Structure 1
Amino acid sequence: MSEPGLPFSSSILSAVEQPRPAELALVHGFSHPSALRTAVTCDIVAANPAFTRLFPGLEAGANLLTWMLLDPMARCVLADWETEARLLVGRFREMIGAAQSRRVEEVLRLCRRATDWERLWHGAVPEAASDERIVLVLEPDSGRETAMHAQTFTFEAPHRTWRLDTLVPAG
């Protein structure tokens, strides 16, 4: 795991919140990148091999926010890093209002190390936050740009506090 990814202890998630075998099978059943992450703090709970190959250093135990802001690999694999960073930071800013915790403070403390933090934190969330979002990624091996549909799903039954993020090729 890359240092900037901010590992988190699995003890942050209660025993009830640990992914069940069926949920892990769901993540690993996708042939395209998918991962479970906590809704507010963006801790990666589980990720499939396609996800970890596309986003080096962003495996289970890493933090999406700190990876995006502090790991140089984020700028290498996201063709429009600026838009993706603004979206992520903006959503984090919106979600932490009612969710102050020791973990939120820890993530904030680490994110503040990023040279872009103040600008991103105080900036507007871009229009790209539409229902049909395309993320442009650069394949780590070839550098080839690929447009991917980005979708985030919640768990209704049983209710989970994390989200399922998926990327599938567009067109």
Structure 2
Amino acid sequence: MTIQDVGLASSGTRAVSAMAVQPRRTPVRRLGERYTPIGHILQRYREEVGLSQEALAERAGLSTSLVSKIESGARSVSSQTISLLAPVLELNDATRERLVWLTDPELRRIKAPRPVPRTPTPRETVVLQANPNPAAYLEPGTGVVVAANTAFTSTFLGLRIGDSVIEWQLLSPWARGVLADWYLETHLRVRSCREALTGFVPNSYIDAMKTRLRQAQEFEDMWHNRVDVDYAGRSVLRLRHPSDDPDDVRRMYVLVSSDDSPWRHLQLVPTQADTLGTSSDDPSITVLTAESARRRPVPACIPMRASS
């Protein structure tokens, strides 16, 4: 089966030939909105590793009473307590750092994903233009594609400017054709999204996002279960080439970085001296603007606004 066959075939996912074209903007924090307390987040992690409150307390050197009060919200959590709990809960450094942010209201406000009120600058545009390999700017948390070069849009078929990467991976039939390790890669994306948003953005936003993503029957399992430990630290992405050969798989190093811009910089670099069939002398890129978002039709099958 070729990549085109996979993209056009029906699957357990509701067929979506065109992803939603308006960006899934992360809402600004407002008074009165409900957020998941850090105690509830820690409780979920405890349940994932199959520990009772008593077992967690004993292994972390804490009292059972303290663990119970933290999970119920009766006691606040310090960064020192997070440091004691993290190894027992088998949390990586990135997750532990996010939990520390949640212990401090000011850090939580600063680190929360938020809408980006501008388009890429000429300098940022030139960076994408100069890259012959797939590259894009993504909004933190939601993974909305803000700008991308030709190599990126021709590699990730059906993923357009203004789309959310996580929705493309789960809901677009093209994703299952492009990503050779679709389940593992999408599971990694779903869990990363969950950890980046939970506690930082309103629950109403997360609930609305989950409603859309449940169109994929695999979503619940991905959301509630941890990523395979051997894949969680992957540095190589395996992509199918859009050719007639289903075994034509390219291995690309995944590089994610950031600077003083508000976006995450994603670029893929071939592990061998080849490109994904794209021409390096065609550096045109596509940029999301408010005008282009308004002009594009919205598929009726995907709700665009978070329910209150």
Q: Note whether the superposition's TM-score is higher than 0.5.
A: yes
CA contact (8 A) 1:41 1:103 kept: no
The structural deviation recorded for 1:28 is: 2.4
Identity of aligned residues (%): 29
- With over 3 angstroms needed to count, the CA separation of the structure-2 counterparts of 1:27 and 1:109, relative to structure 1, is farther
Whether the aligned pair in 1 keeps the contact of 2:23 and 2:164 (CA below 8 Å) is: no
**How many Å separate the matches in 1 of 2:145 and 2:126?**
16
TM-score, length-scaled by structure 2? 0.49
Q: How do 1:102-113 and structure 2 match up within 5 A?
A: 104-113=206-215
1:57 corresponds to which residue?
158
Q: Helix, strand or coil: the match of 2:167? A: helix
Shift of 1:32: 0.5
Task: Note closer, same or farther for the CA distance 1:99–1:84 as it changes in structure 2 (3 Å cut).
Answer: same
Shift of 1:23: 1.1
Question: Which of 142, 146, 149 does residue 250 from structure 2 map onto?
Answer: 146
CA distance in 1, matches of 2:198, 2:226: 16
Which of 233, 237, 247 aligns to 1:135? It is 237
Question: Is there any run of 5+ residues in structure 2 with no aligned partner, and where?
Answer: 1-15, 27-114, 273-308
Output aligned runs, 1:1-150, within 5 Å.
2-3=17-18, 5-9=19-23, 13-15=115-117, 17-101=118-202, 104-127=206-229, 128-130=231-233, 133-142=235-244, 143=246, 144-150=248-254
Gaps spanning 5+ residues in structure 1: where?
none
**Aligned partners of 2:186, 2:144: CA distance in 1, in Å?**
16
CA distance in 2 between counterparts of 1:146 and 1:44 reads 22
Instruction: Give the secondary structure class of the aligned counterpart of 1:124.
Output: coil
Cα root mean square deviation, aligned: 2.2
Question: Do the aligned partners of residues 70 and 46 (structure 1) sit closer, same or farther apart at CA in structure 2, a change above 3 Å counting?
Answer: same
Question: Which structure carries more strand by proportion?
Answer: 1
Task: State the number of aligned residues.
Answer: 165
> Once the 2 structures are TM-superposed, how far is the Cα of residue 124 of structure 1 from its aligned partner?
0.9
Q: Which protein shows a greater Rg?
A: 2
One-letter code of the match for 2:127?
A: L
CA distance in 2, matches of 1:43, 1:104: 15
Amino acid at match of 1:122: H
* Alpha carbons of structure 1 residues 11 and 126: separation in structure 2 relative to 1, 3 Å: closer
Q: CA deviation at 1:108?
A: 2.5
Give the conservation status (yes or no) of the 8 Å contact 2:24–2:163.
Answer: no
Structure scoring higher RCO (CA < 8 A, sep ≥ 6) equals: 2
Deviates most, 82-91 or 120-129: 120-129
- Distance between the aligned counterparts of 1:107 and 1:35, measured in 2? 22
Alpha-carbon spacing, 1:32–1:69, altered in 2? closer, same or farther (3 Å): same
Counterpart AA for 1:40: G
| TM-score, normalised via structure 1 length | 0.85
